[in-house]
Structure 1
């Protein structure tokens, strides 16, 4: 690591010091000998161009300003994860790229503006979501016969010039949630479960469940690592070149793992649900990235 390295953690104006999950990262990095501070990515007073490393963390307003955000990413000399990864990963059509390369992905159809609703899965609930969006914003779950509402939702997303993903809803999520596996510097760190984010149309009172730490079984670990390796190779990188990754995995009705999302740009890393050493592992990954630059 270079002497007196300076790191900027990129946030957004709404949450300039991120959220409670990782607000104390500058203190954690200081313990590792790294000077770090938070700065909104669009702050003209922040000297991103001269930082030894800029880490994308909570840039959660990018879906509404993606073109501007990506231009800014391209302008940052030392960005983690890299600008090319951000360009690819902030549009969920990347799932099609991974599926084409053999990654078991939740079945996904893309509906471009002007195209009609297609749902090739008969008799199952399905989800419509914009290809550019954070968390579950813009995503909606529909019962198999609820076509009028789905067509209206699709039209609203298309009016914003969005490509729309349609996916069969994995009902195992209602029971088991999504398992989010976190990797730091390419190495597995910790995992947590996220409760179902989309309510059941037949039970409107249901909604997001709690989050809690978990030790994933080997099949989920393998699926997550395969997805990471495929994504890294697609961009001419090694897995270790990714400072962080969160791999969201669900199971199909037969119990086989399916990739729901691969978060390489600004994911919440679930430190609040991890063991006390997780943030120290993040600091070590930052040190390694600085040493490699």
Structure 2
């Protein structure tokens, strides 16, 4: 067996899931495991780029030993919110970063974005909603009311929300690994309903196999870019 070179850093990546799921991402018996099954392609896409990742419950002590942790389900629920919040600050290199998680977990974030000039649907019926998924600073895919190819005006609202959030958090927009912006209305009156920077549902089951494969490869590219920014690229030298 050919062993990995010990002088080369092989970053330890964890996809952190709800503690009710096992370390393979499977949901408990009797619950819907379609989302976990659909996301299995993420691990394969990461492996294709030479990156090894595994799923662990967010509260597993081993997550604290990882080089990079990516939230894939929001953790804790109302009864464990404080514990989850404290954990996000203890983890090394959490994506999205803990300040983004804390800001986005407060429902007042929509009011913040409205103050920043992002049109929102606060106080009005949103109607049909289109989900827009971003990886890094770029568009990935969409699903929902407007289908897979929504008008660019809807993307503009999602992008404006992302930019405003990054400015409020004093980070670069590229530092947000992923985001989902739910936008309602038409091109002439598009409004933000929700922005998820914590552990957005990426809609794998809502898009075609071809779109899913492309999006998962794009996700893996952005994870690689994040590792490079953090000095954890797969070719980084291990410290003595």
Q: Is 1:269 the counterpart of 2:202 in the alignment?
A: yes
- Indicate the structure (1 or 2) with the bigger Cα radius of gyration: 1
Partner of 2:64: 49
Name the SS for the 1:168 alignment partner. coil
Partner of 1:39: 56
Q: Structure 1: how far apart are the matches of 2:45 and 2:77?
A: 26
Name the SS for the 2:38 alignment partner. coil
Q: Structure 2: how far apart are the matches of 1:219 and 1:237?
A: 25
Partner of 1:15: 21
Partner of 1:258: 191
Q: Is 1:230 the counterpart of 2:230 in the alignment?
A: no
Q: Structure 2: how far apart are the matches of 1:50 and 1:272?
A: 32
Partner of 2:90: 75
Q: Structure 2: how far apart are the matches of 1:23 and 1:15?
A: 14
Q: Which runs of 5+ in 2 are unaligned?
A: 1-7, 27-35, 231-240
Q: TM-score, normalised by structure 1?
A: 0.67
Would you say how many aligned residue pairs link Structure 1 and Structure 2?
Answer: 208
Shift of 1:213: 4.7
More helix by share: 2
Q: Structure 2: how far apart are the matches of 1:95 and 1:32?
A: 36
Shift of 1:97: 0.8
Deviations 1:117-165 (A, max 9, x none): xxxxxxxxxxxxxxxxxxxxxxxxxxxxxxxxxxxxxxxxxxxxxxxxx
Partner of 2:137: 186
Shift of 1:26: 1.9
Q: TM-score, normalised by structure 2?
A: 0.81
Shift of 1:13: 2.0
Contact 1:80-1:243 within 8 A present in 2 as well: yes
Contact 1:271-1:279 within 8 A present in 2 as well: no
Map 1:140-179 onto structure 2 (within 5 A): 167-170=123-126, 173=127, 177-179=128-130
Task: Please tell me the root mean square deviation across aligned C-alpha atoms, in Å.
Answer: 1.9
Q: Structure 2: how far apart are the matches of 1:63 and 1:181?
A: 27
More strand by share: 1
Q: Structure 2: how far apart are the matches of 1:13 and 1:213?
A: 33
Shift of 1:60: 4.7
Q: Structure 1: how far apart are the matches of 2:18 and 2:198?
A: 13
Shift of 1:255: 4.4
Shift of 1:63: 3.6
Contact 1:52-1:290 within 8 A present in 2 as well: no
Q: Is 1:87 the counterpart of 2:102 in the alignment?
A: yes
Q: Structure 1: how far apart are the matches of 2:94 and 2:75?
A: 16
Q: Is 1:104 the counterpart of 2:119 in the alignment?
A: yes
